[in-house]
């Protein structure tokens, strides 16, 4: 480990593997934010883990780390017809339609489970899209 001549403190050099991982996550974020459909990632407790730039239009303030049903709808708990709740409960992808609060247009919401190594659902990815912009095969 190298030491600084001025301060005498050790200087940690980043290992090449850490630089590669950091670069990969930067690329992941760039791709994630390039998608023009809103994407929200939840943990098993309905906390918002990550959102892409398009999803930021649906939330006021900083939603990451907060419960989606409270910050979006001001509910004390998730609705039984919530697609995120359904996916957490069943472990299966879910499709539903809701009215957009901004435009009144139909929005198609698709949720996908995220599994841990033990095949237990640890979160959900929600992708939204205007229903008029949906391929027919998704509407089944």
For tokens 């980043």, the residue is: 14
pLDDT-based confidence at 108, cuts 50/70/90? confident
pLDDT-based confidence at 90, cuts 50/70/90? very high
What is the edge-to-edge ordering of all strands in the sheet holding 121-130?
A: 48-51, 39-43, 121-130, 106-115, 94-99
- Read off the pLDDT of residues 44-86 as tens digits, 9 standing for 90 and up: 998 999 999 988 877 777 888 888 766 665 555 666 678 888 9
In the chain, where the domains are located: 37-139
Cβ(38)–Cβ(127) below 8 Å: yes
Question: What are 16's two structure tokens?
Answer: 């090449």
pLDDT above 60 (res 139): no
Which CATH number does 37-139 carry?
A: 3.30.450.20
Question: What are 39's two structure tokens?
Answer: 């994407």
Cβ(59)–Cβ(78) below 8 Å: no
Cβ(107)–Cβ(100) below 8 Å: yes
Contacts 24+ apart (CB under 8 A), 67-72: 68/40, 68/42
pLDDT above 70 (res 23): no
pTM of the model: 0.69
**3 state SS of 98:** strand
């Amino acid at each position: 480990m190298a030491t600084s001549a001025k301060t005498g403190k050790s200087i940690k050099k980043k290992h090449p593997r850490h630089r590669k991982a950091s670069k990969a996550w930067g690329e992941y974020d760039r791709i994630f934010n390039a998608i023009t459909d809103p994407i929200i990632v939840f943990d098993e407790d309905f906390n918002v883990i990550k959102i892409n730039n398009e999803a930021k239009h649906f939330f006021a303030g900083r939603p990451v780390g907060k419960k989606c049903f409270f910050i979006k709808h001001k509910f004390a708990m998730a609705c039984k017809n919530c697609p995120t709740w359904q996916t957490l409960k069943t472990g299966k992808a879910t499709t539903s339609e809701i009215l957009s609060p901004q435009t009144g247009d139909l929005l198609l919401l698709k949720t996908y489970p995220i599994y841990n190594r033990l095949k237990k659902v640890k979160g959900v990815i929600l992708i939204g899209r205007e229903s008029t912009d949906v391929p027919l095969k998704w509407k089944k």
